[in-house]
């Protein structure tokens, strides 16, 4: 038993102390100096950036900036909003669609039926609404998968391609 303890001590002296990586790779493209707290921009003209690149070229690997589940969830919701606004034409257009739906509903109640043009418009509004709901459902489904992701999967997660978004109408 004593020889095992001695062997561990010799190996630790030979290998040297284990040191944490002094840099963290930021998702913004730069690095964080973990010792000083300084942010190093991804600028080849910056001497600190060149030091980090030389350190990496020597075979070292910076700590990765792992997004939290909350950050990924917010990114998913923002992407859902972006997709919806790109198709519907913005918040004002959505409000106009809602107002028109109400107007058509009231016309149908008062008149007892819809004209063929009104029915076509209702069908288009239903299709748009169903698509918006499916975008929201895709976002919610993606958010439920976040707790099961590894750090590597969180780093690689792409809200544009890793969510099962519905095809635009």
3-state helix, strand, coil in the chain (%, to 5): 60, 5, 30
Q: Is the pLDDT of residue 2 over 80?
A: no
CA distance 20 to 28: 22
Quote the pLDDT of residue 19.
Answer: 54
CA distance 9 to 5: 6
CA distance 148 to 139: 16
Per-residue pLDDT tens over the stretch 74-96: 999 999 999 999 988 888 888 88
Kindly list the distances between the CA atom of residue 60 and the CA atoms of 20, 22, 54, 57, 142, in Å, as whole numbers in the listed order.
11, 10, 9, 7, 34
Q: Determine the distance from the C-alpha atom of residue 60 to the mean position of all C-alpha atoms in its chain, rounded to a whole number.
A: 27
Kindly list the distances between the CA atom of residue 97 and the CA atoms of 64, 100, 101, 122, 145, in Å, as whole numbers in the listed order.
44, 5, 6, 10, 32
Neighbours of 146 (CB within 10 A): 18
Q: Is the pLDDT of residue 133 over 90?
A: yes
DSSP class of residue 36? T
Per-residue pLDDT tens over the stretch 52-64: 999 999 999 898 8
């Amino acid at each position: 038993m004593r020889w095992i303890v001695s062997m561990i001590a010799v190996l630790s002296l030979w290998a040297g102390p284990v040191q944490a990586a002094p840099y963290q790779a930021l998702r913004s493209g730069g690095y964080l100096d973990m010792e000083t707290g300084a942010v190093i921009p991804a600028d080849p003209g910056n001497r600190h950036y060149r030091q980090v690149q030389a350190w990496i070229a020597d075979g070292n690997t910076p700590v990765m900036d792992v997004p939290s589940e909350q950050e990924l969830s917010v990114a998913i919701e923002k992407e859902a909003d972006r997709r919806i606004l790109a198709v519907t034409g913005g918040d004002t257009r959505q409000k106009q669609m809602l107002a028109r739906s109400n107007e058509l509903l009231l016309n149908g109640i008062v008149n007892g039926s819809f004209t063929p043009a009104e029915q076509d418009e209702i069908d288009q509004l239903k299709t748009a609404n169903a698509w918006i709901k499916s975008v929201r459902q895709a976002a919610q489904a993606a958010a439920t998968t976040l707790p099961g992701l590894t750090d590597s999967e969180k780093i690689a997660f792409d809200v544009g391609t890793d969510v099962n978004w519905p095809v635009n109408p």
